[in-house]
């Protein structure tokens, strides 16, 4: 008979006392516009899963893609500008 046992690391990895660090929270905060834009894009795509996309649906998806791309570009520019010495972009 095989016994099922848990691995201690897997159990304690989700313990209440382990919380994200301030640096991790700052990174999430900086990426939040990208995350929200991706969620909007997914919402627009999910709407069209069970039907043929109308012209309005196609426009909604295009706009959501452009917003997601713009958010990614803005994040890349912010992080690239922050890592350059002297603040030059």
pLDDT, tens digit, for every residue of 45-67?
A: 999 999 999 999 999 999 999 99
Query: What are the residues whose beta carbons fall under 8 Å from the beta carbon of 68, sequence distance 6 or more?
Result: 34, 37, 38, 40, 41
pLDDT at 14: 61
What's the whole-model pTM score? 0.68
3-state secondary structure at position 28: helix
CA 40, CA 32: separation in Å to the nearest integer?
Answer: 12
Q: What's the chain's Rg over C-alpha atoms?
A: 21
What residue spans of the chain are helical by DSSP H?
8-12, 22-47, 55-83
For the chain, domain boundaries:
20-82
């Amino acid at each position: 008979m095989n016994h099922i046992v848990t691995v201690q690391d897997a159990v304690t990895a989700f313990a209440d006392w382990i919380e994200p660090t301030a640096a991790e929270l700052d990174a999430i905060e900086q990426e939040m516009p990208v995350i929200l834009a991706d969620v909007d894009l997914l919402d627009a795509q999910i709407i069209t899963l069970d039907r043929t996309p109308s012209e309005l649906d196609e426009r909604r998806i295009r706009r959501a893609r452009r917003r997601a791309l713009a958010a990614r570009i803005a994040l890349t520019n912010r992080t690239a500008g922050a890592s350059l010495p002297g603040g030059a972009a």
